[in-house]
């Protein structure tokens, strides 16, 4: 890559002009003199070094020169950086996102690694929003619809959908979906990435109508061949795996008789499919993704005070026999009204992060152990609505 311009001045004007070169130049001062010497590094090496840095540093380095700005903003670099960050074995670029419901609405986050080794998660802070409109909306109910490649899809007050990358402080509000939320009947949504067409998409269902939003066209369209119009989609979260969004739907098969199905929707070819449950005894569950694989949480109640959560993972997508029960986590609860379970994250060594009620649970299938790290939310009586895993990235919500 060739640098054909002087360095761009940033804020205080700390950058100085440098000679043109076919390589990126790093200015180094000799310890004995103030005279700088200008070594050069190959473009490929600079690319490799920068791709391993955190987003916060890269945002500053965009001011070094126009060529660095062009490099860091390029699709190839953004994709490589995302790949490096996602595969980091220490998860230093991963965060946990917390939806807080009481006493005030809001979103907080903390680094992911302490969840695996510390009894207390202390670095829990409000996300620095830097967007007046979002700040104004955050006094209303906030639902995280999904996280993909560093983008959060959030629903505010059941009607307003945003794509947001908090790491780069970029936000985009989607146009109206056409669904009208009612007090106890509102649309359900899924979010994912269409890799074939390089397009982020949101899928919504309400009152038998299915619509899909495309970032590339910045518009919604109806899915005319939606074959589950008479079904009722679950209020549980959707799961994005194998380039498809997945949701559960309840279908009436007779008077007061219902069956549940896992429905898949391919974001690229817009075709429907079904994924079978592990066995015929399943009447539904909570979908999630662990290590890129579709997962299923099955809750078993042993009394009015306790039960267990079974964790299932589909090792080979689409093959019913590949569903594998990796373990079971016991739980107790005081009030059924506030019990729920959400799959959050899985580490490379097999540890699983779950949200059970307002608790975060770290489960290790290898020795069948589990623990509950304390989350310092800095509220007297907070209600932890939902926990999601998030990886920092440079992906812009309006890049396509």
Residue 236 pLDDT: 85
- The residues near 347 (Cβ < 8 Å, ≥ 6 apart) are 91, 116, 353
Q: Which two tokens stand for residue 100?
A: 């807080």
Lowest mean pLDDT among 227-236, 316-325, 332-341: 332-341
Of the two residues 223 and 125, the one the predictor is more confident about is: 223
3-state helix, strand, coil in the chain (%, to 5): 15, 40, 45
pLDDT at 239 over 60: yes
- Flag the least confident range among 15-24, 165-174, 203-212, 276-285: 15-24
pLDDT value, residue 22: 39
| Angular region, 291: left φ>0, alpha ψ -120 to 50, beta rest | left
24 has pLDDT over 60 = no
- Number of other residues whose CB lies within 10 A of the CB of residue 116: 17
Q: Residues, the chain, total? A: 400
Mean pLDDT score, 135-163: 84
8 A C-beta contact, residue 359 and residue 371? no
Q: Domain 87-391 adopts which CATH fold?
A: Neuraminidase (2.120.10)
Closest among 298, 299, 292, 297 to 315, alpha carbons compared: 292
Cis peptide before 30 (omega within 30 of 0): no
On the question of pLDDT at 272 being above 70, the answer is: yes
Six-digit token pair at 161?
């959908």
- Average pLDDT of the residues in 356-385: 81
Residue tagged 């569950």 (tokens): 285
- d(Cα 363, Cα 287) in Å, to the nearest integer? 17
Helix segments in 252-392, DSSP class H: none
CB-side neighbour CA atoms (13 Å) of 239: 29
Q: What band does 268 get if pLDDT is binned at 50, 70 and 90?
A: very high
pLDDT at 92: 95
| Domain ranges within the chain, ordered by starting residue | 1-73, 87-391
Across the range 52-78, mean pLDDT stands at 95
- On the question of pLDDT at 363 being above 60, the answer is yes
pLDDT for residue 197 is more than 90: yes
For residues 55 and 70, the answer to whether their CB atoms sit within 8 Å is no
Residue 321: other Cβ atoms inside 10 A = 10
pLDDT on residue 375: 85
8 A C-beta contact, residue 39 and residue 26:
yes
């Amino acid at each position: 890559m060739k640098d054909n311009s002087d360095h761009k001045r940033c804020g205080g004007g700390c950058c100085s002009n440098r000679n043109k070169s076919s390589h990126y130049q790093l200015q180094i001062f000799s310890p004995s003199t103030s005279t700088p010497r200008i070594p050069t590094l190959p473009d490929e090496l600079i690319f490799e070094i920068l791709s391993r840095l955190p987003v916060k540093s890269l945002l500053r380095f965009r001011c070094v020169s126009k060529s660095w700005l062009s490099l860091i903003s390029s699709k190839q670099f953004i994709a490589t950086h995302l790949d490096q960050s996602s595969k980091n074995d220490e998860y230093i670029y991963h965060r946990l996102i917390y939806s807080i419901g009481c006493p005030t609405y809001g979103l907080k986050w903390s680094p992911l690694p302490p969840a695996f080794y510390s009894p207390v998660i202390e670095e829990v802070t409000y996300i620095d929003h830097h967007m007046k409109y979002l700040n104004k909306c955050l006094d209303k109910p906030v639902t995280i619809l999904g996280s993909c490649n560093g983008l959060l899809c959030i629903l505010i007050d059941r009607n307003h959908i945003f794509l947001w990358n908090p790491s780069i402080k970029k936000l985009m509000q989607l146009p109206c979906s056409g669904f009208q939320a009612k007090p106890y009947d509102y649309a359900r949504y899924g979010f994912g990435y269409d890799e074939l067409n390089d397009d982020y998409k949101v899928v919504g269902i309400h009152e038998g109508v299915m619509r899909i939003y495309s970032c590339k066209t910045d518009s919604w369209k109806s899915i005319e061949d939606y074959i589950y119009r008479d079904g009722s989609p679950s209020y549980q979260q959707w799961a994005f795996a194998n380039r498809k969004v997945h949701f559960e739907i309840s279908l009436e098969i007779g008077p007061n008789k219902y069956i549940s199905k896992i429905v898949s929707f391919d974001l690229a070819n817009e075709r429907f499919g079904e994924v079978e449950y592990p066995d015929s005894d399943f009447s539904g569950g909570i979908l999630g993704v662990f290590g890129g694989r579709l997962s299923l949480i099955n809750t078993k109640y042993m009394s009015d005070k306790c039960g267990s959560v079974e964790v299932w993972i589909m090792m080979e997508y689409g093959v019913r026999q590949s569903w594998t029960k990796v373990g079971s986590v016991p739980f107790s609860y005081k009030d059924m009204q506030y019990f729920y379970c959400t799959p959050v994250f899985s580490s490379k060594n097999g540890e699983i992060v779950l949200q059970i009620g307002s608790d975060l649970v770290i489960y290790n299938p290898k020795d069948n152990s589990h623990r509950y790290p304390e989350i310092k939310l800095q509220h007297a009586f907070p209600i932890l609505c939902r926990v999601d895993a998030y990886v920092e990235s440079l992906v812009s919500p309006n890049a396509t």
